[in-house]
C-alpha cells in the first residue's frame, strides 16, 4: 500500500481487502477449529481403542493361565485384526508363542513370532520377537534358519543376546571357534541383556574341551 495514501483512502482500501478475503479468512478459521476439535476426537478414539485392546490382552493372559489355548489364540487373532495399532496385539502374540513353546508346539510358536517380526510397529518388540524366533528355530532343529533370523536384524536393533544365541547355534553346528567368537562378542558389549557368568562359563567349557596343540616336531 502506498504510504502517501490519505487516511480515508487507507481505510477504504482495508475494507476492500477484508471484503474480498473474508470468505477465505472465515474458511481458514473454520478449518482450523475443525482440525483442533478433530484432533481431540481422534485422540479420544485412540484412547478408547487402547483401553479395549488392553482389556482383551488381559483376558488373553487369563485364558492362557487357565490353559485355554484355543480361546487365547482366537482372542489374539481378534487383537491383531482389529487392534494392530496397539502394542497389546503384539504382547498377546508373544504370550501365546511362549505358551506354545512350553506346550512343545514349536511350529505354531515360530509362526506367531514371525508375524510379530513382520508386522509390529514397535522396534523393541520386533527385536524381542526376532530373538525368541531364533531360539525357537534352534530348538526345532533348524540352525540355519535361526542364523538367518539373527542376521536379518537391523544392526541398530541388535543386542549382546543376539551374539549369545548365535554362539549357541554355531556350537550346535559344530563350529566351536565361531561359537567362542560370538560369545566373546557378546561379552565385549557394554550393554546388558545377557547372563555374563553363563556366557563366560560356555566359553571356558568349549575352550577347556579343545585338544591341546600338538608339539612341533624336532
The highest-confidence range among 30-39, 118-127, 137-146, by mean pLDDT, is 137-146
Residue extents of the structural domains in the chain: 64-146, 159-210
pLDDT digits (tens, 9 = 90+) for 149-175: 999 998 877 889 999 999 999 999 999
Query: What are 89-124's pLDDT values in tens digits?
Result: 999 999 999 999 999 999 999 999 999 999 999 999
d(CA 161, CA 134): 11
Q: What pLDDT band is residue 190 in, cutting at 50, 70 and 90?
A: confident
Residue 42 has pLDDT above 50, yes or no: no
88 dihedral zone (left: phi>0; alpha: psi -120 to 50; beta): alpha
> Which position has the higher pLDDT, 84 or 178?
178
Q: Which residues contact 89 (CB under 8 A, 6 or more apart)?
A: 53, 76, 79, 80, 83
Q: What confidence score (pLDDT) does residue 218 get?
A: 43
143 Cβ contact list (under 8 Å, min separation 6): 137, 169, 172, 173
Is a pLDDT exceeding 70 seen at residue 11?
no
Residue 109 to residue 100: CA distance in whole angstroms: 5
Higher pLDDT, 80 or 21: 80
CA 44 to chain centre: 25
Position 189 scores a pLDDT of 87
Q: What is the tally of helices (H) and strands (E) in the chain?
A: 9, 0
What residues contact 83, with CB distance under 8 A and at least 6 apart? 49, 52, 53, 56, 89
Q: Which residues have CB under 8 Å from 163's CB, separation 6+?
A: 182, 183, 185, 186, 189
**How many CB atoms lie under 10 A from the CB of residue 72?**
22
What length does the chain have? 218
Phi, psi values for residue 83, rounded to 5°? -130, 35
pLDDT value at residue 28: 55
pTM over 0.85: no
CA 118, CA 152: separation in Å to the nearest integer? Answer: 12
What was the pLDDT predicted at 46?
A: 58
Amino acid at each position: 500500500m502506498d504510504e502517501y495514501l490519505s487516511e480515508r483512502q487507507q481505510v477504504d482500501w482495508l475494507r476492500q481487502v477484508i471484503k474480498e478475503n473474508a470468505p477465505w479468512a472465515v474458511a481458514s478459521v473454520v478449518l482450523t477449529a475443525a482440525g483442533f476439535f478433530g484432533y481431540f476426537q481422534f485422540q479420544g478414539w485412540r484412547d478408547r481403542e487402547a483401553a479395549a485392546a488392553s482389556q482383551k490382552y488381559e483376558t488373553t493372559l487369563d485364558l492362557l493361565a487357565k490353559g485355554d489355548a484355543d480361546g487365547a489364540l482366537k482372542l489374539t487373532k481378534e487383537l491383531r485384526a482389529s487392534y494392530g495399532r496397539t502394542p497389546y496385539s503384539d504382547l498377546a502374540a508373544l504370550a501365546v508363542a511362549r505358551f506354545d513353546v512350553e506346550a512343545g508346539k514349536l511350529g505354531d510358536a515360530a509362526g506367531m513370532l514371525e508375524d510379530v517380526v513382520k508386522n509390529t510397529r514397535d522396534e523393541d518388540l520386533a527385536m524381542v520377537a526376532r530373538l525368541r524366533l531364533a531360539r525357537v528355530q534352534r530348538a526345532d532343529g533348524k540352525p540355519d534358519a535361526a542364523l538367518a533370523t539373527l542376521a536379518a536384524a537391523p544392526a541398530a536393533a541388535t543386542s549382546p543376546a543376539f551374539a549369545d544365541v548365535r554362539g549357541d547355534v554355531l556350537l550346535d553346528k559344530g563350529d566351536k571357534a565361531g561359537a567362542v567368537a560370538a560369545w566373546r562378542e557378546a561379552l565385549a558389549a557394554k550393554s546388558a541383556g545377557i547372563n555374563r557368568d553363563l556366557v563366560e562359563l560356555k566359553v571356558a567349557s568349549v575352550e577347556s574341551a579343545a585338544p591341546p596343540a600338538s608339539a612341533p616336531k624336532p
